[in-house]
Structure 1
Amino acid sequence: MPPAKRRRGNGPAEPPDLKELIETNISNSTQEIKKTVNNLEKQVGNVSKTILEKIEKIESRMDQQNSSEKSPEKTFVVKETFKDVLTMREGDYCDGKCHEHFGQNWNLGIKRSDDYLLAYLALKKKPNADKIYVETSQEISISVENRDRISKTVENRFPSGDVLLYRLLTWKDMEQRYVRDGSINLEVRVKVNKMEGPIRSEFHQFDVSNEKFSNVILNVDSHKFYVLKELLSMHSSYFDKLFTGGFQESGKAEVILKEVDPQDFQVFLELIYGYPAVYDCTVEGILLLNDIYDTKIVRERCIAFLMEDSDMTAIKKLQLASRYQIDGLAKKTISEIKVAEEYRNLVAEGKDDFSPEILKALLDKALTFKIL
């Protein structure tokens, strides 16, 4: 409450003393501040409690994940912008560019059929290569600037060289809602559940012909690998614990390894046995497997190949560097970007797949082109 006005006898009221007025205002403001601070303390306390609860939940979830057996899931994302779609006629196809994932070439495509937009993910058959079959889970979606998303989830099994088409939405609906400047944006998230094909062994056979040089059988998706426990234990902390850690498998003559691609495991073993089995078509599967088996020599050979001999694109190298924390590869790849146009294309296509550290390095690189 402001101080009362004083009167001089029967004269008019005088304004209150300035000092008294200031002190009163300060007192009132202080009370308001205290109330605000108290409210903020309560709010901060609630927020802190919520954050702590979330942290505890995350830590609990991480403990559960760490205590459970890791699974080397093969997952990837393909994004594509299809231009001039309004010129497509009934029966027309439009193929996107090829993307290499886990040693195979994939591409996203669309078709106009019966006034519907059909979408598909194709697995390209490599020249002179055996046909393989893949089992996948796919989520194909269309959106406008990551909004108004429509998606379709499918599970399928198909051979390399073939495609399976899926209705996404009507052509009219696509025209009205999703076309921007004559283009549409599609995305497919893929989980490869299984790849079926003959095991290629370029350097060494681990089948029954290797039995006399082995003391354990590793059963990977019904493919039997005859190997030495001691050699695997020497290089891999996973197999060291498996064979010498007192687990039930330690004394078994045959051990089953679940959710492992037998072709990747063949190449993984060849590397442990000293063979130069790393190529562009094998390195991604090996790195994924080594995330589980923790083998230093395998990681070092993969990194050396990627740094010196790989013909992979810059975007693919940076994706692998992000996923498997290969700092040297990221630094070298970014340093080799010499043209601004290459930089723009790389960032536009791969920015969602890069780690924060790599995105920061790319931002620093942008300054050298003066394109910000």
Structure 2
Amino acid sequence: MTAPVKEFVMRHDFKDVPKFKEGVYQYSPREEHFNIPWKMSVVRRDGFLGVYLYCDQLKTNKSIRVEFSIQLITVTGKKNQLHTSLTYNTKNYAWGWGKFLDWKKMEKDYMIDEHITVETHVKIIEITGIKRKKLKNFDATMEEYSDLVIIVEDEKFHISKFFLADQSTYFKSLLTRKQEESEKPDTTLDDCKSEDFQCFLELIYGEFLASQSTYFESLLSKKQRGSKKSEITLDGCKSEDFQYFLELIYGESPIDEETIDKIVHLADKYKAPTAIRKCEEFLMNNSGKTLKEKLQMAKNYKLENLKTACLSKINTVEDIRSVLSYTTSEMDPSVVGALLQKSLSLLP
């Protein structure tokens, strides 16, 4: 499975379009994606429809490079779309097109019952400015109490071999093979960020015994000195993502809108059921992702409880439209079937 990317979709129905006043902006509700608030706007000006995407509340040291497209759509599938690449910052927080579409053409081809539907597809390429504080350290300060070193992007994570193997069948198999080579083998992980792996370990690991008891701290420190540690190097993985992953499996709570995609990707890759369950619980109970986004994640990572929870919230024709993809082949067949049944039940 390829590494997760930061993408999201926003859709809003703007009503009473013929009543729009010249030069007065109409806004969609604000939505939060990856810990960043976004909104859309439309405006009637000089015989054209203007459309814009806003990135709200950017701090002075933060910028966001994106690719996005804005389109007008109809129930028949007809659409008018424009695409661009740009960077949001404190001086440039709104981008779009003042002459997106001729107003009369919009009324003729895209307005239905005085409504228009605007949809924006956004792909975040890079976010700069704010670095997340680690919830748990796996650096050299933990060296005395660990028996395994995992190297990701040249960053070393000092952890417990037993605990990691207990939480991840992937690492259990890997460490079993390594055990015959040395008493404490080193392992390098590929396709992973160290920060995400940090989150993963924090969730499943809880607190180290040594960090909670001075007696065991002294005892373990004496036994650990002089012993050779295993090392595993992971390639194809970012150290930042691996940090998140470790934090999660070590008992911390690193999951939020910005980290969920990275953590669930690694939890699935490393077959860590505890981490997967906690990711699924976040998506069900705390995430601001759309139903469409959640259903896609349920398909990608086989999150059956999430899929069931999403389907239970789809009760209207508009709900069904909001989760449909233009290419139904990309959707879970069982979800397509459930949506068909729901649509039939809504027929008069």
TM-score by length of 1: 0.60
Aligned residue runs from structure 1 range 230-269, under 5 A: 230=161, 235=167, 257=236, 262=240, 265-269=242-246
1:52-110 per-residue CA deviation (whole Å, 9 max, x = no partner) reads xxxxxxxxxxxxxx7xxx23222332222222233333432222233444444433322
- Alpha-carbon distance between aligned partners in 2 of 1:212 and 1:197, rounded to the nearest angstrom: 34
* Residue in structure 1 matched with residue 124 of structure 2 by the alignment: 192
CA RMSD, 1 decimal: 4.4
> CA, structure 1 residues 166+310, in 2 after alignment: closer, same or farther (shift >3 Å)?
same
> CA, structure 1 residues 103+284, in 2 after alignment: closer, same or farther (shift >3 Å)?
farther
* Residue in structure 1 matched with residue 272 of structure 2 by the alignment: 295
* Residue in structure 2 matched with residue 157 of structure 1 by the alignment: 87
1:130-170 per-residue CA deviation (whole Å, 9 max, x = no partner) reads 86422222122223435443322211121379221234233
Q: Secondary structure at the match of 1:269?
A: helix
The question of 1:315 aligning with 2:291 is answered: yes
The letter of the residue matching 2:21 is R
Is the Cα contact below 8 Å between 1:102 and 1:285 reproduced in 2? no
* Residue in structure 2 matched with residue 4 of structure 1 by the alignment: none
Is the Cα contact below 8 Å between 2:152 and 2:242 reproduced in 1? no
Is the Cα contact below 8 Å between 2:4 and 2:262 reproduced in 1? no
* Residue in structure 1 matched with residue 321 of structure 2 by the alignment: 348
- Alpha-carbon distance between aligned partners in 1 of 2:62 and 2:174, rounded to the nearest angstrom: 32
The letter of the residue matching 1:310 is N
- Alpha-carbon distance between aligned partners in 2 of 1:323 and 1:255, rounded to the nearest angstrom: 23
> CA, structure 1 residues 208+184, in 2 after alignment: closer, same or farther (shift >3 Å)?
farther
> CA, structure 1 residues 356+142, in 2 after alignment: closer, same or farther (shift >3 Å)?
same
> CA, structure 1 residues 253+139, in 2 after alignment: closer, same or farther (shift >3 Å)?
same
> CA, structure 1 residues 274+102, in 2 after alignment: closer, same or farther (shift >3 Å)?
same
> CA, structure 1 residues 95+151, in 2 after alignment: closer, same or farther (shift >3 Å)?
same
Is the Cα contact below 8 Å between 1:137 and 1:156 reproduced in 2? yes
The question of 1:218 aligning with 2:152 is answered: yes
Structure 1: 5+ residue stretches without partners:
1-65
Determine what percentage of the aligned residue pairs are the same residue: 27
The letter of the residue matching 2:67 is S
Displacement of 1:193 in angstroms is: 1.7
- Alpha-carbon distance between aligned partners in 2 of 1:107 and 1:326, rounded to the nearest angstrom: 29
Is the Cα contact below 8 Å between 1:216 and 1:229 reproduced in 2? no
Which residue, out of 41, 53, 64, partners 1:121? Answer: 53
Q: Secondary structure at the match of 2:133?
A: coil
Of 227-236 and 178-187, the range deviating more from structure 2: 227-236
Displacement of 1:271 in angstroms is: 0.5
- Alpha-carbon distance between aligned partners in 1 of 2:167 and 2:257, rounded to the nearest angstrom: 23
- Alpha-carbon distance between aligned partners in 2 of 1:239 and 1:305, rounded to the nearest angstrom: 24
* Residue in structure 2 matched with residue 26 of structure 1 by the alignment: none
Is the Cα contact below 8 Å between 1:199 and 1:266 reproduced in 2? no
Q: Secondary structure at the match of 2:324?
A: helix
> CA, structure 1 residues 265+111, in 2 after alignment: closer, same or farther (shift >3 Å)?
farther
> CA, structure 1 residues 351+255, in 2 after alignment: closer, same or farther (shift >3 Å)?
closer
- Alpha-carbon distance between aligned partners in 1 of 2:115 and 2:251, rounded to the nearest angstrom: 50
Is the Cα contact below 8 Å between 1:101 and 1:284 reproduced in 2? no
> CA, structure 1 residues 365+177, in 2 after alignment: closer, same or farther (shift >3 Å)?
closer
1:275-328 per-residue CA deviation (whole Å, 9 max, x = no partner) reads 233346643443245444443332122124445x43658836545434433212
- Alpha-carbon distance between aligned partners in 1 of 2:313 and 2:42, rounded to the nearest angstrom: 35
Displacement of 1:192 in angstroms is: 1.8
Q: Secondary structure at the match of 2:41?
A: strand
- Alpha-carbon distance between aligned partners in 1 of 2:141 and 2:60, rounded to the nearest angstrom: 23
- Alpha-carbon distance between aligned partners in 2 of 1:312 and 1:103, rounded to the nearest angstrom: 9
1:323-362 per-residue CA deviation (whole Å, 9 max, x = no partner) reads 433212333454577xxxx544422322338633134335
* Greater helix proportion: 1
* Residue in structure 1 matched with residue 306 of structure 2 by the alignment: 329
* Residue in structure 2 matched with residue 143 of structure 1 by the alignment: 73
> CA, structure 1 residues 219+360, in 2 after alignment: closer, same or farther (shift >3 Å)?
same
Q: Secondary structure at the match of 1:200?
A: coil
Is the Cα contact below 8 Å between 1:322 and 1:358 reproduced in 2? no
> CA, structure 1 residues 298+157, in 2 after alignment: closer, same or farther (shift >3 Å)?
same
Q: Secondary structure at the match of 1:164?
A: strand
Aligned residues: 291
The question of 1:82 aligning with 2:59 is answered: no
The letter of the residue matching 2:322 is E
The structure with the largest alpha-carbon Rg is 1
* Residue in structure 2 matched with residue 277 of structure 1 by the alignment: 254
Aligned residue runs from structure 1 range 9-158, under 5 A: 70-125=2-57, 132-158=62-88
Is the Cα contact below 8 Å between 1:103 and 1:280 reproduced in 2? yes
> CA, structure 1 residues 366+115, in 2 after alignment: closer, same or farther (shift >3 Å)?
closer
Structure 2: 5+ residue stretches without partners:
182-186, 190-229
- Alpha-carbon distance between aligned partners in 1 of 2:104 and 2:236, rounded to the nearest angstrom: 50
The question of 1:180 aligning with 2:156 is answered: no
Is the Cα contact below 8 Å between 2:153 and 2:239 reproduced in 1? no
The letter of the residue matching 1:140 is I
